[in-house]
Chain A
Amino acid sequence: MGWSTSSAPVVHLGSPAEIPPEDRLHPRPHPLRWVTGAVVLAVLGFLVLSFARGRIDWAVVREFLTAEKILAGLGQTILISVLAMLIGIALGTCFAVMRLSANPVLSTVAWLYVWLFRGTPVLLQLMMWFNLGLIFPTLGVPGLFEEPTINVITPFAAALLGLGINEGAYLTEVIRGGILSVDSGQAEAASALGLSRRTALAKVVLPQAMPAIIPPIGNEAIGMLKTSSLAAAISYTEILTNAQQIYYVNGKVMELLIVAAVWYLAATSVTSVGQYYLERRFQRSAVRRRSVADRIITAAVARLRRGAR
């Protein structure tokens, strides 16, 4: 023992005390961490090396990364994803409020909506929208205007309806959960002031539901970027369709799939950054744990800002 346990407790008064070396406290050493880290790095290195030496023509990847057809497809992917998300958020908010309504007809209809569109594959839904003309040869208000369904339900319209309405069903549950996470005393206080239910929802409840709603919406947006590739099945031309069309001609299958993958990663990364900022905005009070990615993003953005100035 470096110090005596037998002596009576000493109360040190007044001046700050010195720290003798034997009083210093040290963090616990973790030698095993270095070993596991090294093993994982070795495995990773091996994987990277095999891809670099594999039969991939990186020149082709580089060439097609900015090909006009690929970029056009990327634009279509982003367009349909953004629009379908907007439709999904609008529908989700609307049906979430209906689901919580005291009117049993409204809440049942909302429940049916979620049940129907969450319970069937989105690919199937896309195909049904696309083939709507088989049940309704024409669309419109009888007497006022009518159009052949084929002209109205283009691949774009069918993809928008299919993806947007499907997304709405998921977001209904997300937004409903967010609303329910807000203490009921909040809506009550708003009511007691004489605020209408609509104002209470918009100004009091929804802003407080945001921290619970934003992260899943971000995940859904990232999912949407990828799910939108299913619209290829109804001949909507997005990035994956265009990549396929190119490799049917030149046979560079893997290279073009890698090109598409790079762009998907870029788009989902940008979405993650957006999600990060939205979350931070709506979560002013909560203590946040920061991941490495978190820190890299913040540092990178800070550097960009400094550079811009």
Chain B
Amino acid sequence: MNAANAADAASTTNTANGADVMVRIENVHKSFGGLPVLRGVSASCARSEVVCLIGRSGSGKSTLLRCVNHLEKPDAGRITVDGELIGYEDRGGRLVERRERDVERQRRDVGMVFQRFNLFPHLTAAENIALAPRKLRGLSRAEARELAVASLERVGLADRRDAYARHLSGGQQQRVAIARALAMEPKVLLFDEPTSALDPELVGEVLGVMRAVAEQGMTMIVVTHELHFAREVAGQVLFMEDGVIVEAGPPEDVLVRPRHERTRAFVSRTLR
């Protein structure tokens, strides 16, 4: 009885939908200068699950994503990655922001891919990828380069290892950015509209790489307007509006048979 209770308690902290939880977001609030942007967001993402976050512009998707690696500081609530509280620590019942060094260590486990790629333009593709492993994981120059080339292979760009960002197409740049995040072997990868800045004919190659990374078991939270991708790859789709999650569930529910009027309106407008 006791053991069963203990197991029950453990299951509520460590699993969601019966699976291992990688990212848990609990009642997160955030305002910018009095304007509430996140108004109590709770969600979770299982290990190796792909969660797609959809919603209109300004609904708070980027802000939520940026809270997960503490690029944005929430005002209230908790975010854990693999059971570890992100950005804050419990000091006798009060949650206090962590030292910068600890936040930096936590960020190594949370990769991020940006809408505008944000490759370092003064470095080659391989150098972009090698920088963080060299500085943070103590790899030698040669080891880091080897790792960089291996990461580039994963996104099909090993032959462009010595190219600077400006000599790569947008799609290639975003694939290098994905390789850069992968090289740190993160526990979860965050994508903030990774294909929104791309010419239409380049979207496919980036989504293809993302799909392959997902199939290799990476946990991913993806903000996207590519509902076809969400439909095929996501385990869970969250629809956000005005700082709250309006609807959540498997894609065949949220995207095909939305229960809420607002979700239905968004999906039909986006798919049109």
Contacts and interface: CB of A to CB of B under 8 A. Distances in A.
A280 interface: no
Nearest to B69: A192
Nearest to B122: A207
A208 to B, nearest CB: 6
Given A188-B118, A207-B122, A208-B122, A194 B136 contact: yes
B184 interface: yes
A134 B112 CA distance: 59
B111 A192 contact: yes
A284 B131 CA distance: 20
Interface residues of B, number: 29
A191 B114 contact: no
Nearest to A197: B100
A199 interface: yes
Interface string A182-222: 01011011111111110100011001100000000000000
A207 B121 CA distance: 10
B132 A191 contact: no
Interface in A200-259: 203-204, 207-208
A197 B135 CA distance: 12
Nearest to B105: A194
Contact of B118 (A186, A194, A285): A186
Give the interface centre of A189, A190, A193 by most chain B CB atoms within 10 Å.
A193
Interface in A162-198: 183, 185-186, 188-197
A186 B119 CA distance: 7
A197 B99 CA distance: 13
B184 A189 contact: no
Contacts of B47: none
Contacts of A199: 135
Interface in A58-80: none
B122 A192 contact: no
Contact of B120 (A192, A196, A204, A285): A204
Contacts of B132: 193-195
B29 interface: no
B100 to A, nearest CB: 7
A195 B71 contact: no
Contacts of A185: 114, 116, 118
Contacts of A189: 112, 114, 118-120, 177
B135 A203 contact: yes
Contacts of B114: 185, 188-189, 192
B107 interface: yes
Given A185-B118, A199-B135, A285-B166, A193 B71 contact: no
B61 interface: no
Nearest to B110: A192
Contacts of B136: 193-195
Contacts of B135: 195, 199, 203
27 contacts: A183-B118, A185-B114, A185-B116, A185-B118, A188-B118, A189-B112, A189-B119, A189-B177, A190-B120, A191-B71, A191-B104, A192-B114, A193-B107, A193-B108, A193-B131, A193-B184, A194-B104, A194-B106, A194-B108, A197-B100, A199-B135, A203-B131, A203-B135, A204-B120, A204-B131, A208-B120, A208-B122
Interface of B: 69, 71, 100-101, 104-108, 110-112, 114, 116, 118-122, 131-132, 135-136, 164, 166, 177, 180-181, 184
Interface of A: 183, 185-186, 188-197, 199, 203-204, 207-208, 285
Given A189-B177, A197-B100, 9 more contacts: A188-B114, A192-B114, A193-B107, A193-B131, A193-B132, A194-B106, A196-B101, A203-B131, A203-B135
